[in-house]
Structure 1
Amino acid sequence: MTNPFLETWDTPFGLPPFDRIAVGDWMPATEAALAEARAAVETIAANPEAPNFDNTVAALEMSDEALGRVLSAFYAVASADSTPALQALQRDFAPMLSAHMSWVIGNQALFERIDALWQTRETLDLGPEEARVLMLTHRRFVRAGAQLEGQAAVRMAEIRTRLSVLGTQFSQNLLADESAWTMPLSEEELAKLPAGLRSAAKAAGGDKGAVITLSRSLVVPFLQYSPNRELRRRAFEAWGARGMNGGETDNRAIAAETLKLREERAKLLGHDDYASWKLETEMAGSPQAVRELLHAVWTPARAAAEADAAIYADMLHADGHEGPLEPWDWRYYAEGRRRAEHEIDDGTLKPYLQLDRMIEAAFSVAHRLFGIEAREIEAPAYHPDARTFEITRRGEHLAVFVGDWFARPSKRSGAWCTTMRDQHRMAGRDVRPLVLNVCNFAKPDAGEPALLSFDDARTLFHEFGHALHQMLSDVTYESISATSVARDFVELPSQLFEHWLEVPEVLREFATHAETGEPMPEALMDRMLAAANFDQGFATVEQTASAIVDLEFHCGTAPADPMQRQAEVLEEIGMPRAIAMRHATPHFAHVFSGDGYAAGYYSYLWSEMMDADAFEAFRETGDAFDPETAARLEEHVLSRGGSEEAGVLYERFRGSTPDVAALLRGRGLAA
């Protein structure tokens, strides 16, 4: 049969024809696309005409279009519905793609053309977008080692290849550990859990009976609600041990080698350490600026957590348990305290937070803010759970959105937004994006509605905020499209969109009971919103500790033993004994599955400084859906991608950049 990637797709809106793609199609399609990309680069580099923006930079932007078409579809499937065959392909692709990148960066004739344009940029009469793309292209080549020569250039290519292999293996090891562990529950233990959790545990176990897995949507509620301390301990320790169980899936050596190679790469490029190199192009600018932010957050968060820990220890002892409060106790006693103080629990809330209604809520908010409409359509999908929507505005096609919300063993943990096609207008075309949101919510029994916790609903809104950034992008060049922005700016649209989940009029319309259809009672809504910042000491400590460890890993000399260094950093900052890092080193996929968030996990907090301030812009008008403020947000943030510096874009929207006080107020850690 013909390889689908060698054909023109007649699918709705050019979606990948997943129903016709076989495992055997991926490798030949990738090899053909790599050959096409290489030929395109060779043509650009050998062009006898003098370099100009169109024949060099714009041409380079288009050179790997076929490769992107294949790989965006492949990695969407490999992350969300993996198989041993796809994992083997990932391992094969990692060195292939790294070698191609090294070849492009090392093509001296190509870089000379780019450098010549950069050196004469003031004479080129470029528009703002073109000037930005030229700067970013030149900077990308330089930061990747294009100016290195001889053995240094060879070594840089070796490092790049090895890091790509290590990142792939880290991810696959983590997925293997998460998929391998289950804890069966007896009927007696199952009966002690809320109905929604019982249903999810039964669905996860299938014919084997009810089980707890290491999916966050199962293990966290179990830690909240199970009165069996021993079972909580077993579940928590298995969750925390991901990536460090010994054997082939142990990630500790991978983390150590990764950190060492990153340090070597930074030094080859003339930097003292990896963090200095990485942060040079982010909003923060330097490790010191990040350190100041993290410690400004850490001090009040730790104080709040320690005060809460004393309360929970008393509750533990009142239950007849001796000894100190442990990490597997915290969520259980915090949930008990939340029930007592706010008269709510997930068992009460979840029936009002149906997945389908929360999807409708996200679409409705986006419609009221930006005028978009969503219509579910039939289209080929990589998994039956994935749902496809056409997004329009004023009757015109804007994007395709795919939502894949349920957990399964073949899906990596967490939640994310990615694309299978980015918005751009290169070569006179109007290319609209294909956007994918992936979550890991517990799947209900057949015929039952999927019910979310408030945190789950917040995650859904968060990822749809990323999707809006993709769908509302309006730039010419793909390299500056949508989320192609500084890492500590990329979380602004997603975290900002979360705020609309707490707008009462949104909840009144969409938080309806799964059985009765009645809206959430006002008193319950008030209690839920009043508890929105409950236990923020814990949440902020576990997140900030992870960010501090990430930063210190990448400052100075790379640690030979990351686990020892992790322990040292946690001791230095006074980590409360009953709280664990949100992401311990062996399962810190943000940092070790790739370079994206390496020395950059702080970016969620950096963006939060802005999102709290940005939502205030709406509050100040007295209308959470103020049309002028929404239009300004789209014009200066959501539509502009990376076409200008992040700080400039934000200040155009808001007038100034906020400080850490906005973040602390938003979390209830400051007046």
Structure 2
Amino acid sequence: MSQENPLLQEFDTAPFSKIKTEHYKPAIEEAIKIAREEIQQITATEETPTFENTIVALEHSGEKLSRVAGIFFNINSAETNDEIQKIAQEVSPWLSEFNNDLLLNEALFKRVKHVFDERKKLDLTEEQKTLLDKHYKAFSRNGANLSEDKKNELRKIDLELAKLSLTFGENVLAETNRYELHVTDKNELDGLPESELENAEELAKKKGKEGYIFTLHFPSYIPFMKYAKNRELRKKLAIAFGAKAFQNDKYDNQEIVLKIAKLRHQRANLLGFKTHAHFVLEERMAKSPEKVNEFLEEMLEKAKPAAEKEFQELENFAKELDGIDRLEKWDSAYYSEKLKQKLFQLDDEQLKPYFKLDNVIHGVFLIAKKLYGIHFKEVFNVDKYHDEVKTYEIYDENGDYQALFYADFHPREGKRNGAWMTIYKEQQVKDGKNERPHVSNVCNFTRPTSKKPSLLTFNEVTTLFHEFGHALHGILANSTYSSLSGPSVYWDFVELPSQLMENWCYEKEALELFARHYETDEVIPMELIEKIKKSANFHEGMQTVRQISFGMLDMAWHAADPTSINDVKKHELEAFEATRLYPDVPENCMSTSFGHIFQGGYSAGYYSYKWAEVLDADAFAYFKEKGIFSEEVATKFKENVLTKGGTEDPMVLYKRFRGKEPDADALLKRAGLI
């Protein structure tokens, strides 16, 4: 089989065009077998355990498996179908089981522990110490010190959790795909920009229907909520969006949410931790749930007065404009947009012509070149999983190859919502060779139509910059070991490079590099740049409170014993109590589609977006002080953060870059909250 299975051949770039769906299962099965043999070789040796023959050997084991599984799960996110989802359900338990067998392998742990206990006598570099600590903790935090019966209990929990989070994601995707708002009368769509009507009309045609179709995918949903005058239709779409996987049908996630929360808690208890949050936060900059709650409450205290004032102004504005007595969630984006236009004479439709996707890509590349000395060259000979994917080779200022970059920008049926960065091949130094990474950005931006190129909203521009910041963390990675390379850092540090990158979207010097009118090539006018800057803090209080509410909901699920919770919605309402501005919508529930914490890696970690905002505001203040393209600051950031990955404690790296600890007031000042 390995003869004809492209995934089992030696390859550098993923051989997408040769991979057939039926190749995945046997390839993963075979790669698990190879990985088991590699582990067997480490434990079978008679030699005394050393850093090289145990820790480094363990680090390099399972490489085939992580590449094959990485390709498969990336495809499951970006280009999935029923068959691939079915395979994901089958192979996830195999991977969980393999992972458990590895981390509960007594002979292997004994060797790792031997090296760990001897660590003071070994002459290790900082990076080697971090690697040793990481591998030792991987065992101890996954039950290596447990008795046999408890190890078995842990295996069962992990197996079930792997399946549940997959099903959770599949249900949300199915709910997103199955809903459509079909409108045949154009008069009902007053307020929607021509470009949105065009998109909706093209979608209807594709589905063989008259009129217009709107969906729950962001490029369709967000403009509708922002511009559609028809309040009833906005309500209909908003309720459908908020009711995803909360409809007591086959796609309902309520039971799954309860099961996941309870199993995570059980697992943490088994490992000697009070709650799942205590377990997770031991490996974060924040260190404890108390510290996180304190951080969220302190932020809330400073942001809430501003949020309440903004909400009151918005409610008064809606009443004055349309006689709306009570502001509902489906009014939020619409009246915010109207008020924003009134205050700043600025709307997305005015800005979009200056943000043609190709120009924005060119701009982000140019900014990366100015800051970090790298340049991008589009190449057409790299295998891709879809025609729409673009591929680039990246070189440093000396012309040395740095990385391969895949970019995939538009929504498709088989692609989950949102935007993310992912890696197809990790950076590492092996056998004296620095193996360079293959990095990918996946987004869901408005498609070009037959009449217009893809024009981005300003929000989409910041999203592109954000994900590209993550990509830079991968591209510039320069560690010895792949598990410490690039974005392999604490979760509350991982958002720093991405959120920092967004700052350039608001700066005149940066915008003038790429924001040009797609028809006239005119550079974005200064007054529009001024308006973008002024409006940057528009409703910042409400935005901050919203982010804090998600962090609090996450902690409500993970920082206390969930055993007695039996009503998902009721629990959620209690968590939102301190942050609520809008009336509740009974048909809606956030938890059942909160993929970040029930499907992604953000459980007990959602606070890290705000946490990283503090870091990024403080870091960008340094750039502002020295100039936004300051070579001195950019070099410090590149050398102490981007290239270093997870080789040292993040606070140590940050202080080395900044010369001091981050100051939370930098964020509040930037947001205009103090």
Q: What letter corresponds to residue 197 of structure 2 in structure 1?
A: R
Offset, 1:302: 2.5
Give 1:426 shift: 2.5
Q: Shift in Å at residue 322 of structure 1?
A: 4.8
Matching of residues 4-15 of structure 1 within 5 Å:
4-9=6-11, 14-15=12-13
Number of equivalent positions: 663
Aligned residue number for residue 306 of structure 1: 308
Other-structure match for 1:27: 25
Q: Which moved more, 1:59-68 or 1:203-212?
A: 203-212
Q: Does 1:113 align with 2:111?
A: yes
The percentage of aligned residue pairs carrying the same residue is 38
- Which structure 2 segments of 5+ residues have no match? none
Contact (CA 8 Å) 1:462, 1:495: kept in 2 or not? yes
1:320 shift after superposition? 4.5
Quote the residue 1:284 is aligned against. 286
Q: Does the 8 Å contact 2:487/2:645 carry over to 1?
A: yes
Aligned match of 2:384: 381
- The separation in 2 between residues aligned to 1:627 and 1:512, in whole angstroms, is 26
Contact 2:189–2:230 (CA under 8 A) maintained in structure 1: no
SS of 1:86's equivalent in the other structure is helix
Q: Deviations over 1:317-338 (max 9, x none)?
A: 3344454110000111111111
Matched, 1:568 2:571: no
The CA deviation at 1:555 is 1.5
Q: 1:51 aligns with which of 43, 49, 63?
A: 49
Partner of 1:344: 346
1:192 aligned partner: 191
Greater mean deviation of Cα atoms: 241-250 or 542-551: 241-250
Cα deviation 1:200-254 (Å, max 9, x = unaligned)? 3234434334221111222111111111000100111111111212222111111
Question: Letter of the aligned partner of 1:101 in structure 2?
Answer: N
Give the SS at the match of 2:428. coil
Kept in 2, the 8 Å contact 1:464–1:494? The answer is yes
In the alignment, does 2:468 pair up with 1:464?
Answer: yes
Q: State the match for 2:334 in structure 1.
A: 332
- TM-score, normalisation: structure 1: 0.96
| Partner residue, 1:634 | 638
CA separation in 1, counterparts of 2:23 and 2:499?
38
Describe the shift of the 1:339–1:478 C-alpha distance in structure 2 as closer, same or farther (beyond 3 A).
same
Offset, 1:574: 4.4
Q: Which amino acid aligns with 1:609?
A: V
Q: Which letter maps to 1:104?
A: L
Q: Which residue of 2 aligns with 1:156?
A: 154
Corresponding residue SS for 1:399: strand
CA distance in structure 2 between the partners assigned to 1:498 and 1:293 by the alignment:
23
Residue 583 of structure 1 deviates from its aligned partner by 8.6
Give 1:115 deviation, angstroms. Answer: 0.3
Structure 1 Cα separation of the partners of residues 428 and 303 of structure 2? 42
Quote the offset at 1:579 in angstroms.
8.2
Instruction: Kindly indicate whether the alpha-carbon contact (under 8 Å) linking 1:191 and 1:198 is maintained by their aligned counterparts in 2.
Output: no
For residue 77 of structure 1, report the CA deviation from its aligned partner: 0.9
RMSD, aligned α-carbons: 1.6
Match of 1:612 among 604, 609, 617: 617
Q: Deviation digits for residues 98-125 of structure 1, max 9, x if unmatched?
A: 0001100111000000000000111121
One-letter amino acid of the structure 2 residue matched with residue 380 of structure 1? D
TM-score with structure 2 setting the length: 0.96
Q: Which residue of 2 aligns with 1:526?
A: 530
Any idea what SS the aligned residue of 1:442 has? Answer: coil
| CA–CA separation in structure 2 for the residues paired with 1:455 and 1:517 | 21
Alpha-carbon shift at residue 664 of structure 1 (Å): 1.4
* Alignment match, 1:550: 554
Query: What does residue 410 of structure 1 align with?
Result: 414
The structural deviation recorded for 1:447 is 5.4
CA contact (8 A) 2:314 2:335 kept: yes
Q: Which amino acid aligns with 2:660?
A: S
Residue 269 of structure 1: how far off its partner (Å)? 0.9
Quote the Cα distance in structure 1 between the aligned partners of 2:583 and 2:669.
25
Query: How far apart in 1 are the matches of 2:83 and 2:481?
Result: 34
Determine if the alignment matches structure 1 residue 540 to structure 2 residue 544: yes
Q: Who is 1:224 aligned against? A: 226
Which of 487, 491, 494 pairs up with 2:495? 491
1:180 and 1:528 map into 2 onto residues whose CA distance is: 36
Match of 2:93 in 1: 95
**Aligned counterparts of 1:410 and 1:386: Cα–Cα separation in 2:** 14
Q: Distance in 2 between matches of 1:296 and 1:352?
A: 39
Question: For 1:477-503, what per-residue CA distance to the aligned partner results, in whole angstroms no more than 9, with x for missing partners?
Answer: 011001111110000000001111112
List per-residue Cα deviations over 1:565-607 (Å, max 9, x = no partner): 1111212x1411258899910111010014x210100001111
Amino acid of the residue matched to residue 4 of structure 2?
T
Shift of residue 353, structure 1, vs aligned partner:
1.2
